[in-house]
Structure 1
C-alpha cells in the first residue's frame, strides 16, 4: 500500500535501482515502472519521475532523487 505513487519509465536514466535507498526510507511510496510514459522529449534530456502525477526532474540522477525526496515530504505532510 502506498500513499504516494512514484511512476518511472524503464527507458529513462532514473531506474528502480537508483531509487532503492529512497524507497527503504519511505515505505509509503509505491513504485510503478512503465515501458514508456510518452514523455520522450523529457526522457531523453534528463532523469525524471512522476510523483502523484506531478513531473519531478533534475539535471542528473542525484538532483532528481533529492527533488523526489522533497516532493515526497510535501505529499506526506498533507497526511500528518
Structure 2
C-alpha cells in the first residue's frame, strides 16, 4: 500500500475517467481504493470528488478533479521527501 491513499466512490462522477490507472501509473507510491460508498451521501452524484489521505478534493469536471488530486498528491509526497 502507498504512503498516499486516494479513495473514490464507485458512483462518483470522477469515474468518467480511469483514475486508478492514471494515478497508479504516474505515482507508484500512491494507492487508489474504490469503495461502494464513502459516506458523503449524494455528493458523488453532484460533482466529481475523491479523498486524498482523508482530504476531500472536488472539481467541476472529472479532468479538473484529477488535476486537483495530482496537486494534493504532490503536496502529500513533499512531506515525505
TM-score by length of 1: 0.90
Question: What corresponds to 2:71 in structure 1?
Answer: 70
Shift of 1:12: 0.7
Aligned pair 1:54/2:55, yes or no?
yes
For residues 43-73 of structure 1, the C-alpha deviation after alignment (integer angstroms, 9 at most, x for no partner) is 1210100000000010000000000000000
Question: What corresponds to 2:15 in structure 1?
Answer: 15
SS in structure 1 of the partner of residue 80 of structure 2: coil
In structure 1, the gaps of 5 or more residues are: none
In structure 2, the gaps of 5 or more residues are: none
Change in Cα spacing, 1:44 to 1:16, as seen in structure 2 (3 Å) is closer
Pairs within 5 Å for 1:9-48: 9-15=9-15, 18-19=18-19, 20-48=21-49
Question: What corresponds to 1:2 in structure 2?
Answer: 2
Shift of 1:21: 1.9
TM-score by length of 2: 0.89
Query: How many residue pairs align between the two structures?
Result: 80
Distance in structure 2 (CA, Å) of the matches to 1:76 and 1:53: 14
Distance in structure 1 (CA, Å) of the matches to 2:17 and 2:68: 17
